[in-house]
Amino acid sequence: MTKVLAIVGAGPGLGASIAKRFAAGGWAVGLIARREEVVDACVADLERYGVRTHGLVADVVNAPSVDAALDAVRDALGVPRVVVYNASLYQPEPALELTPEKLMLGLNVHMAGALNTAQSAVRVLKVAERGVLVFTVNRLAREPAAGATALSIGKGAQLNLALSLGQELEGTGIHVAIVTICGPIEQGTRSIPTASPRSIGRSPTRILASCSATTSSTPSERPDRLAQGGVAAASEQSGTNRPP
């Protein structure tokens, strides 16, 4: 049976690279983004791999929209084995220039969207009683920067959401992973995701990552190795079965 990946917040950069690596391993890929042109470009980018794809437009801030998109991926490709939340919004304002409206704009994407996706993904993954929910964050989640206050707050909130979910889902067969990207993803740099979907192996707890990640799991279920090779400029490991 073909394994299925669903990316919420697909797009150029990390989202596209994850999709390509899974597709190269024969996975079917569901691609969800806010703009139709982004979805179309991502789908077209995977044609060379000859895998089944399904692209959908959804707004992560709208819970029914996320539900409909993940249901459509399930119906078209099958129940996902891995769901990745990759939506992000960069805002350069420092704290003293940040308005409450702009802060909420970022929190809607990084926190409300992540929560909507998590709740919807768990609902879908429970059908198979297994699966992995992955959150992509950056170093600002742990080391906030004055020049990107909203992004720092948003990614920090998303990190804590993931840690809380890991505790709540422990023992259910659904695992939570945090991938911390600690450098810009650009051509010609070390920060190009290069890991292989073979790293997942037979267990959904073996997460494809462009840098190190750790899933919430019992000791007997913990993967014996993580994705090899693709390490961002620097990376940190975050086990979601307990606070750091």
Res. 211: pLDDT tops 60: no
pLDDT in tens, 103-156: 999 999 999 999 999 999 999 999 999 999 999 999 999 999 999 999 999 999
Q: Find all residues with CB under 8 Å of 125, minimum gap 6, and list them.
A: 79, 80, 83, 131, 133, 174
Distances in Å between the Cα of 97 and the Cα atoms of 48, 94, 111, 152, 201 are 46, 6, 21, 15, 47
Q: Is 134 helix (H, G, I), strand (E, B) or coil?
A: strand
96 vs 191, which has greater pLDDT? 96
Provide the residue type at 59 as one letter: D
Question: Residue 45, class by beta-carbon neighbours within 10 Å (0-12 exposed, 13-18 middle, 19+ buried)?
Answer: middle
Angle (nearest 5°) at CA 132 between 131 and 133: 130
- All domains of the chain, ordered by start, with CATH? 4-221 (3.40.50.720)
Mean pLDDT value across residues 28-48: 96
Provide the whole-model pTM. Answer: 0.79
Return the bridge partners of 33, or none: 57
Cα–chain-centroid distance for residue 52? 20
Three-class SS of residue 25?
Answer: coil
For the cut 50, the answer to whether the pLDDT of residue 170 exceeds it is: yes
Residue 163 has φ and ψ, to the nearest 5°, of -60, -40
The values of phi and psi at residue 209, to 5°, are: -145, 145
SS3 category, 141 = helix
Cα 121 from Cα 55, distance rounded (Å)? 16
User: In this structure, are strands 4-8 and 82-85 parallel, antiparallel, or unpaired?
Assistant: parallel
